[in-house]
Amino acid sequence: MIATWIVKVWQNHRLGEYAPSWGPEEDHSPNSLFAAAMHQGGWSMQIPGPELYYKVLPKHHVRVHRRRGVKILGLWYYADLLQESRFLRPSGRGGRHADKWVVSSDRRDRRRVFLQDPDDHESWHVLRWTGLPPEGEVPAFSDKTAAEVLATARQPVRDSPDRLP
């Protein structure tokens, strides 16, 4: 209801004494000023590339394990490209995250993470979760059940009559 009022009333109301200096006697509204600005300067809409998605995801700084890959949020991820010599050595990064690789992940989709290429920082590689079935099959875990399984696995084992041996 508020959005409808903004579009129908506010954006179309006459500016009166707040009209622009280049047309004080003309009838102007916020919509007409926006249209004038677009007519004068044009609209340069740029659709961001897919790399922006990887850049805004949460980053993890990890080391690459030779046989297992990388561990992100308790799960292991791997791709054959991790066997390339450039990934088998430390990243060369300095500072707080010295010799670690940058990996981005989306908590809502645990099936894959994204590894930033060391030679071209604008390209990213997809690493699949090692617990996934082959491509094309539906995974048994979702992001929610994966978190529950990991939480259960972290709990200490206690002798209890309701627990199976």
Total H helices, total E strands in the chain: 5, 6
Task: Indicate whether 161 pLDDT > 70.
Answer: no
Separation between Cα atoms, residue 28 and residue 42, nearest integer Å: 19
Separation between Cα atoms, residue 114 and residue 56, nearest integer Å: 12
Question: What's the whole-model pTM score?
Answer: 0.61
18: β partners: none
Residue 54 structure tokens? 């990887």
- Higher pLDDT pick, 144 / 155: 155
Distance of alpha carbon 118 from its chain centroid, rounded? 19
Banded pLDDT at 50 (limits 50, 70, 90): confident
- What pLDDT does residue 162 have? 59
DSSP state at residue 46: -
Task: Indicate whether 74 pLDDT > 90.
Answer: no
- What pLDDT does residue 71 have? 93
Q: Which of 10-14, 29-33, 51-55, 137-141 has the lowest mean pLDDT?
A: 137-141
34-46 per-position pLDDT tens digit: 888 888 887 777 7
DSSP code per residue over 69-119: BEEETTEEEE-GGGGSHHHHS-----GGGTT-EEEEEETTEEEEEEEEPSS
Question: Both ends of the chain: CA-CA distance in Å?
Answer: 60
100-149 per-position pLDDT tens digit: 888 999 888 888 999 988 888 788 899 999 888 888 877 766 667 777 87
